[in-house]
Amino acid sequence: MTPTTATRCGDYVRISTQDRGQDTENQLIALREYAARQQWEIIHVYEDHVSGKTGDREAFRRLFEDASRRSFYVVLVWALDRFTREGVFETFEYIRKLRAHGVKSNPAPKHTSARRHLCRGNSCWLSRHG
């Protein structure tokens, strides 16, 4: 698949609480813009409004169920802490599960330079593999 080929993607967004004025809209705007630049079609948005300290989140579980059915080929997340706050091992395990289903993970540019640094410093946790 070339970078210009239309790709189906799923977007994952999360906030911990709504009572502090948090909103997923800023994440969604960035993900939509990024997907459009890549010529990717967003087929589903997975949205949780709970802590990321465990994987026991409704939309997060659905994302993996849909990944197992190959409903999409790329998962976009706004930032690592929106995907999970469980720790490095768990994060890599989630990425491994996605890859086992043929799904790539890709960060949208919350902070592009920070993303590049993260990739260099942490084995590119959300690099495009496959």
> pLDDT of 2-24, one tens digit each?
444 468 999 999 998 765 767 89
Which CATH number is correct for 7-121, 1.10.3720.10, 3.40.50.1390, 1.50.10.10, 3.40.50.800?
A: 3.40.50.1390
Counting runs of H as helices and runs of E as strands, what totals does the chain give? 5, 4
Strand-pair category, 104-107 with 40-48: unpaired
Distance CA 129, CA 98 (A): 11
> pLDDT of 30-87, one tens digit each?
999 999 998 999 999 999 999 999 999 999 999 999 999 999 999 999 888 899 999 9
Angle between helix 88-100 and helix 58-68 axes, rounded to 10 deg:
30
Distance CA 126, CA 63 (A): 16
